[in-house]
Amino acid sequence: MNRRQFLWTAACFASRSAAESPAVTFSCDNARLQRVYDTALATLAANVQPVDNYPRPLLFEGATYLGAWLECAPLESLVYAPIAPAVARATHEVFFDLQREDGYIHCWFRKDRMGAAQIQMVVPIAETALELYQTLRDSAFLEKAYRACSRWDEWLMRYRNTRKTGLCEAFCEFDTGHDNSPRFKGKPKACPNQDARECPKVEGLPYLAPDLSATVYGGRVALAAMAREMGRPGEQERWLAAAADIRRGIMERLYDPRDAAFYDRDAGDTFVRIRGDAITRVMGEHVVDRKTFEEIWRRQLRNPAAFWTPYPFPSIAADDPTFTRPTGRNSWGGASQALTALRTPRWMEHYGKYADFTHLMRRWVEAIVRAEQFLQQLDPITGEATTDRGGYSPAALVLLSFVRRLYGVVQNGETLEWNCRLPEGAGECSVTSGAAILKNNKAKSVLSLAGKDIAEVSGEVRVITGTDGSMRKLVGTAGSKVQVTIRRNGSRKGYSVAPDQTIAL
């Protein structure tokens, strides 16, 4: 980090106010895990970088990616927000402040230029902005996000709805960030003339894209929530109606119940039958109901022959004819990507897959700690990371997020999630999140809030409390039935908790 970068980063951290989210701390006696965790923090701090056309530093992708992409930077900065909320805000506002007059949001920002050759979106920036607002509670930020994301939705429907289906269209490989994927084999990587409004004159394009359409859907749901927060019920209803319209189109035109899979439809209105991680992106926006999800989960996502490989989720199903292994660097043709792992908390628990989510997190933490580097992708079978230049922000954030979700405290609205579990090879660990402290050892877990112990728990389980410490429920996150004992206020009570089971307290 040069002097200018250091000064920008220092200024960013100094701008943090007492009202913003406190940092999360982690300590444990597994020296290797602790070392890699500390290195993740240092990696992310080094990836906070200035750009020439914006006055505040952004969280860069890192490794060979010296910039911030719309596909991933907003979510990454949101995950980083408990440590650096000012960075998270800047990494959102750069997309809003430099939005074009026609409503286009630039697909990336690098040191000295902005990109406009694709849309490259996955997680809706409207959604991450809404979640960040819920931490910042800044009405000016909310208004800015609402205005920018409303104009972005209008742009997408003006220029990426050429077939008048109401769905969002993919024009090129980079639109979905699926670099080197068979999904776009033979198709251009970017749009002509570096203009995302122009569809290449190539057979099969444009695609009706399930993941891009799901991103629009999720953005509209978030815009409805923003409108409600701002006291605009008419606009809220308009956004909800628009979300329902595109959701209906996704299910009617892009889902094949025979395969329990989502596919692109090409310009000839034919399915492009490649089963890729676009399915997980549709799940990320909660497009499908629980019944449909369970069918997709059973036949695709939890199927060991398809996506439930030893290190989930491969970018192409392992039993798809186009699956590639081994792969080169930056390949969405089969490798399990850190970006996909980073997005899993957005849907696996929503659909009640707590135990399988725990398994996935453990496998990713294991692989990252073994590599002792932050690399972009894993072999989905062996978990070996593809050799590359280290310092990849998504991998560092996967480690921070998963350690917190496995062994620490996570605030979710008005509740706190206490994850009572020890890391492998550790005798004790402690995670602090604001006023909440969780101490795990081999005998018990101690839950403390505002300097006061509120409960002692034995057994691997998640305890849900209110932010005031009131006990709400238990959630079965282990892979088998667990006997759990809770001691609180002089009383003791036992429970038998099965995987994915929820027990009201």
* Closest by Cα among 413, 423, 402, 275 to 348: 402
Cβ-based neighbour number of residue 213 at 10 Å: 30
* Same domain for 111 and 166: no
pLDDT tens per residue, range 281-318: 999 999 999 999 999 999 999 999 999 999 999 999 99
Above 90 in pLDDT, residue 7?
no
Q: What is the three-class DSSP state of 43?
A: helix
* Same domain for 251 and 105: no
Q: What is the mean pLDDT of residues 66-76?
A: 98
- Residue 494: pLDDT band with limits 50, 70, 90: very high
Position 15 scores a pLDDT of 36
- Residue 340 one-letter amino acid: T
* Same domain for 138 and 255: yes
In the chain, how many domains are there?
4
Whole-number average pLDDT of the chain: 94
Q: Report if residue 37 sits inside a domain.
A: no
Q: Report if residue 250 sits inside a domain.
A: yes
Structure tokens at 291: 């019944």
* Same domain for 391 and 266: no
Above 50 in pLDDT, residue 17?
no
Position 376 scores a pLDDT of 98
Q: Report if residue 121 sits inside a domain.
A: no
Cβ-based neighbour number of residue 118 at 10 Å: 26
Residue 377, phi then psi, degrees to nearest 5: -145, 160
* Same domain for 267 and 216: yes
* Same domain for 400 and 326: yes
pLDDT tens per residue, range 98-147: 999 999 999 999 999 999 999 999 999 999 999 999 999 999 999 999 99
* Same domain for 280 and 138: yes
Angle at 235 between CA 242 and CA 76, to 5 degrees: 70
Q: In what order do the strands lie in the sheet with 445-449?
A: 24-28, 428-433, 436-441, 445-449, 452-458, 482-488, 491-497
Cα distance between residue 78 and residue 92, in whole Å: 9
Q: Report if residue 38 sits inside a domain.
A: no
DSSP letter at 273?
-
Cα 19 to its chain centre, rounded Å, is 25
Half-sphere exposure of 318 (CA within 13 A, CB side): 21
Above 70 in pLDDT, residue 162?
yes
Q: What is the mean pLDDT of residues 411-437?
A: 95
Of the residues 81, 116, 151, the one at which a domain ends: 116
* Same domain for 262 and 166: yes
Position 23 scores a pLDDT of 76
Position 327 scores a pLDDT of 87
* Closest by Cα among 146, 15, 150, 127 to 78: 127
Residue ranges of E strands in 4-87:
24-28, 48-51, 54-59, 67-69
Q: Report if residue 338 sits inside a domain.
A: yes
Q: Report if residue 33 sits inside a domain.
A: no
> With pLDDT > 70 as the criterion, what percentage of the chain qualifies?
96
Of the residues 84, 116, 148, the one at which a domain ends: 116
Q: Report if residue 434 sits inside a domain.
A: yes
pTM attached to this predicted model:
0.94
Of the residues 270, 286, 302, the one at which a domain ends: 286
Above 80 in pLDDT, residue 73?
yes
Domain, as residue range, for 470: 415-504
* Same domain for 390 and 479: no
Q: What is the three-class DSSP state of 141?
A: helix
Q: Report if residue 270 sits inside a domain.
A: yes
- DSSP string spanning 77-125? HHHHTTT-HHHHHHHHHHHHHT--TTSPPPSEEESS-EE-S-----S-H
Above 50 in pLDDT, residue 16?
no
Above 50 in pLDDT, residue 255?
yes
pLDDT tens per residue, range 26-36: 999 999 999 99
Structure tokens at 149: 């994301």
Position 424 scores a pLDDT of 93
Q: What is the three-class DSSP state of 53?
A: coil
* Same domain for 269 and 238: yes
Residues 6+ apart with CB under 8 A from 153: 216, 219, 220, 223, 242
Cα distance between residue 321 and residue 182, in whole Å: 10
Above 50 in pLDDT, residue 65?
yes
Cα distance between residue 331 and residue 469, in whole Å: 45
Prior bond of 326 cis (ω within 30°): yes
* Same domain for 239 and 93: no
Q: What is the mean pLDDT of residues 406-416?
A: 94
As a whole number of Å, the CA-based R_g of the chain is: 22
* Same domain for 475 and 388: no
For the domain that residue 155 is a member of, what is the CATH number?
A: 1.50.10.10
Q: What is the mean pLDDT of residues 462-469?
A: 97
